[in-house]
Amino acid sequence: MSERVELVMSSEEIQERLRRDRNRRRRKGILFHVTVIAFGFLMIYPLLWLAGSSLKGPQELFTNMGAIIPRSGIVIDNYIRGWRGFGGVTFTTFYRNSVIYAGIGTLAAVFTSAVISFGFARISFPLRGFWFTCMLMTLMLPVQIQIIPQYIFFSQLGMVNTFWPLLLPRFLGQAGQAFFIFMMVQFIRGIPLQLDEAAEIDGASKFSTFYRVVLPLIKPAMVTAGIFSFYWTWGDFLTPLIYLNAPRLYTVSVALRAFADPSGTTDWGAIYAMSFLSLVPVLVVFVISQKQIVEGISTTGLK
């Protein structure tokens, strides 16, 4: 690569050389951007295709299959037909169920994680290290280990076909919350201890120290936890599949599976429409909160 440089160059030669270098760099830069964008487009093409197909008329679905933008105008009929759902239950019900699960589940997960992480981060008590290690080890545990006994437990309590088996673990720091607790503990450790001490000198109890001093300061970590919790609950399939067996209780993910059953409907327009619609909340949250997501994954390995 390195050419031999003459020791003496005229100023024109230097200018010329600089210009050539700049051009080469610019060409390389353009090539980089074009390649990255082209490949990126390929990456999200399936999603764009899904969105586009949900707006196509019945003929175009098969004749103009690969296109993203419908040739013969936008058709919203797919969404109207799809929303009617199946078995007399519409997607209104499914969305309501998903909102219950994701909404309550997320609020519970975020708040209990904050409480638990304060305990681990700020109060020393016997066996703290041991419990903390136990908590981190649950991160490695596949859910398949617990689902059978948990199902037996919840069915003996008569909680099958209720939301309790889905929500209760989220009030009790389980179901992947070890990630959140770990993240918040790291976050709390970054807060100066003097703030706690000052509050305690003023006679604040541990709980009011947590509630008035620490909680307002860990909001960023809580937002990140909330975003991920929303993703996990909204997209969760296995838990609702096991515990919710009546269509009126289905969440969107379970309903979508039944709706798109190959032996049942073949209304592909409606299936695309409902599939894409179920992704919209996730994509919207992603666009709004990209920064927290990227930081959350990069710093703690959340998934």
Partner 1 sequence: MAESTGVASNTRVRIRPRTHVSIATRKKWLAGYAFISPWLIGFIGLTVIPILAVFYLGFTRYDIFTPPRWIGLENFQRMFFRDPRYWRSVNATLYFAFTSVPLRLVFALAIAMVLNTKHKALGLYRALYYTPSIVGTSVAVAVMWRQIFSGRGLLNWFLAQFGIQGVSWLGDPRTAIWTIIILVIWQFGSPMLIFLAGLKQIPTEMYESAAIDGARARHRFFRITLPMLSPVILFNLIMQIIFGLTVFTQAFIITGGSPLDTTNFYALYLYRRAFENFQMGYGSAMALVLLAVVALFTFVVFKSSAKWVFYETETGK
Q: Of 75 and 243, which CB lies nearer to partner 1 in the complex structure?
A: 243
Q: Of 192 and 262, which CB lies nearer to partner 1 in the complex structure?
A: 262
The residue with tokens 């082209």 is 38
C-alpha torsion 288→232→79→45, nearest 10: 70
Secondary structure of 260-272 in HEC code, one letter for each residue: CCCCCCCCHHHHH
Sign of CA dihedral 207, 208, 213, 215: positive
Q: Of 5 and 8, which CB lies nearer to partner 1 in the complex structure?
A: 5
Is residue 253 involved in binding partner 1 (CB under 8 A)?
yes
Q: Measured from the CB of residue 73, what is the shortest distance to partner 1 in angstroms? A: 21
Q: 48 CB contacts (<8 Å, ≥6 apart)? A: 68
CB 21 within 8 A of CB 39: no
- Compute the half-sphere exposure of residue 5: CA atoms within 13 Å on the CB side of its CA: 9
Q: Measured from the CB of residue 177, what is the shortest distance to partner 1 in angstroms? A: 8
Q: Of 93 and 278, which CB lies nearer to partner 1 in the complex structure?
A: 278
Structure tokens at 161: 């076909």
Task: Pick the closest to residue 293 from 219, 228, 218, 236 (CA basis).
Answer: 228
Show contacts with partner 1 in window 26-45 (CB under 8 A): 32-33, 36-37, 40, 43-44
Q: Of 14 and 139, which CB lies nearer to partner 1 in the complex structure?
A: 139
Exactly one of 9, 80, 123, 157 binds partner 1 (CB under 8 A); that residue is 123
Exactly one of 206, 211, 247, 265 binds partner 1 (CB under 8 A); that residue is 206
Site string for partner 1, 80-119 (x = CB under 8 A): --------------------------------x--xx-xx
Considering only 3-11, 12-20, 97-105, 233-241, which stretch makes contact with partner 1 by CB under 8 A?
Answer: 233-241
